[in-house]
Structure 1
Amino acid sequence: MSKHHGASGPTRAVEALEAAGVSYTIVEYRHDPRSRSFGEESAERIGGDPGRIFKTLLVRCDGDEYVVAVVPVDHHLSMKAIARAVGGKSAEMADPAVAQRRTGYVVGGISPLGQTTRHRTFIDESALDHETILVSGGKRGMSVEVSPVDLAEVTGADIADLRALG
């Protein structure tokens, strides 16, 4: 387990991993405040296989349920696939202000871990192709590297095919 938390201390995401006794590594990079494509920025700054770096998205399904989708940064989320995984008929991205309020994190730093409101969580099945994946550590410029199996266990996530074709 990594104990390096940086100058500001651990985030709620890191605290959730520590409380679960899960092994993880913090990966920090210098965030460019002009960047608006946070997943692509993290993949570029961290380097390595972009298929191992996952973004966390808040999605509104059937108009009233918010769920979390964790997908590789080099793919788009399929709205049909997340709606199907949830058992619903339709899905749309949550408004960024709603996502920040419901998760307790700023856009670009939303982690599937330690959210202030618990949401059903779905992780793309491609995560299982890797021994470890990287997800947001709860702030821009910080990721945590963790086993996808451990991530699913800590978040109570279901594994599903969530990637859009093409």
Structure 2
Amino acid sequence: MSRQDIHAPETPATRFLRQHGIAFSSHLYAYEEHGGTSVSARELNVSEHAVIKTLVMENENAQPLIVLMHGDHKVSTKELARQIPCKHVETCKPETANRHSGYLVGGTSPFGTRKKMPVYIERTILDLPLIYINGGRRGFLVGIHPHDLMRVLQPKLVQVAN
């Protein structure tokens, strides 16, 4: 039996997707601590470019925000601050990100977060036919159409990839 045959977990993210009528596929894989998107891409046999990271960040006033970025790119926080606009943006400490999102780092999904946060999406993600994004648990991604992200999250488009 492959990992895909195992029943996918029910998470706040999957409940959110179902409530909003978003079709998604479930993809389980063997999570590796600090493995990142390279591990999930390898395990699912997909391009790391199509695996989307959900990053919880804060501005200079400690207000949280989410950035969705290709797995094979980093976020230019300087460029993000310029585009959104604010003075400064930095990645949250893991415990702070967990508190804002309600998910453990490594399992953070932009869907069904504990706090409502503004979402920013790297513009080029919309060029992909299908993306793989965290489903709310470590070792669990969901495959969705990127335009469904736009519909349910209403993120602001940015160009901040490094």
What TM-score results when the alignment is normalised by the length of structure 2? 0.91
Give the C-alpha shift of residue 136 in structure 1.
0.3
2:43 alignment partner in structure 1: 45
1:39 is paired with a residue of what secondary structure? helix
User: Which residues in structure 2 correspond to 1:32-71 (within 5 Å)?
Assistant: 32=32, 35-71=33-69
1:43 is paired with a residue of what secondary structure? helix
1:117 alignment partner in structure 2: 115
1:21–1:108 distance in 2 versus 1, CA, 3 Å? same
8 Å CA contact 1:123, 1:158 repeated in 2: yes
Determine whether 1:22 maps to 2:22.
yes
Distance in 2 of aligned mates of 1:6 and 1:15? 18
Distance in 2 of aligned mates of 1:158 and 1:135? 17
1:116 is paired with a residue of what secondary structure? coil
Instruction: For residues 132-162 of structure 1, give each alpha carbon's deviation from its aligned partner in whole angstroms, at most 9, with x where no partner exists.
Output: 1111000011001111111122122112112
1:57 is paired with a residue of what secondary structure? strand
1:99 is paired with a residue of what secondary structure? helix
1:8–1:52 distance in 2 versus 1, CA, 3 Å? closer
1:23 is paired with a residue of what secondary structure? coil
2:83 is paired with a residue of what secondary structure? helix
Structure 1 portions without partners, runs of 5+: none
| Residue identity matched to 1:125 | R
What TM-score results when the alignment is normalised by the length of structure 1? 0.89
2:124 is paired with a residue of what secondary structure? helix
1:123 is paired with a residue of what secondary structure? strand
Distance in 2 of aligned mates of 1:6 and 1:159? 35
1:76 alignment partner in structure 2: 74
1:93–1:5 distance in 2 versus 1, CA, 3 Å? farther
Give the C-alpha shift of residue 40 in structure 1.
2.2
Q: Percent identity?
A: 26
1:119 is paired with a residue of what secondary structure? coil
Count of aligned pairs between the two proteins: 159
| Residue identity matched to 2:16 | A
Distance in 2 of aligned mates of 1:77 and 1:26? 26
Determine whether 1:131 maps to 2:129.
yes
Instruction: For residues 85-108 of structure 1, give each alpha carbon's deviation from its aligned partner in whole angstroms, at most 9, with x where no partner exists.
Output: 321121111111000011000010
